[in-house]
Amino acid sequence: MSLKSVNDILGVLKQQAKWQEHPFERLLQLWPDIVGTVAATHTRPLSIQRDVLRVATSSAAWAQNMTFGRTALLLKLNQKLSEPLVDIRFSTKDWQPRPDYLQEKTVIPQEHPSYLGNVNISRTQVTPTQKSANTAFESWAKTMQARSHGLPLCPQCQSPTPPGELQRWQVCCVCAAKQF
């Protein structure tokens, strides 16, 4: 066998290897055109094994739909592929809508393993404080109300003033202190 013919054989083998490498890549490119853009978003070709194409689907309904239409799909695909497929299997099993690192972001805090229940803690801490603050304000307001209703006003600053102070200084003790 001459060196030239060896090279020819190697060339043929390389060519064959290329053809065997590419059917799946070619199929990925063809897929949206063959199934349509809507179906393409709900299906993802996974691999070709022994001339059987495995496709992941977003739901069982899509798997069922696509399985019903697979004969037509096979005809369309085989017109464009160098190696004809014998069948297509649709399954939801390997469907992953997004990579894991993206799904991580959508985990709500309560479901996260390191979640400490901050919302509940702050609730139990804040409520009594607010309650006592409100109670303090209410009792202060009541006292002020009772005072202003029951007490005469200082003629100088208009503050409710104990009658004793008015009798003594004619003004409240604060105004009296200012005068001294």
175 binds Zn ion (CB under 5 A): yes
- One-character DSSP codes across 126-180: HHHHHHHHHHHHHHHHHHHHHHHHHSPBPTTT--B--HHHHHHHSS-HHHHHHH-
166 binds Zn ion (CB under 5 A): no
**In the complex, what is the shortest distance from the CB of residue 172 to Zn ion, in angstroms, rounded to a whole number?**
3
Contact code string over 141-160 relative to Zn ion, x by CB under 5 A: -------------x-xx---
Residue 46 identity? L
**In the complex, what is the shortest distance from the CB of residue 108 to Zn ion, in angstroms, rounded to a whole number?**
59
Contact code string over 105-144 relative to Zn ion, x by CB under 5 A: ----------------------------------------
Report residue 49 as tokens: 């094994």
Residue 151 or 175 with smaller CB distance to Zn ion = 175
27 binds Zn ion (CB under 5 A): no
Distance of alpha carbon 106 from alpha carbon 86, whole angstroms: 40
Q: Which residues of 125-146 are buried (b: 16+ CB within 10 A; e: fewer)?
A: eeeeeeeeeeeeeeeeeeeeee
Residue 34 or 175 with smaller CB distance to Zn ion = 175
Tell me which DSSP letter residue 110 carries: G
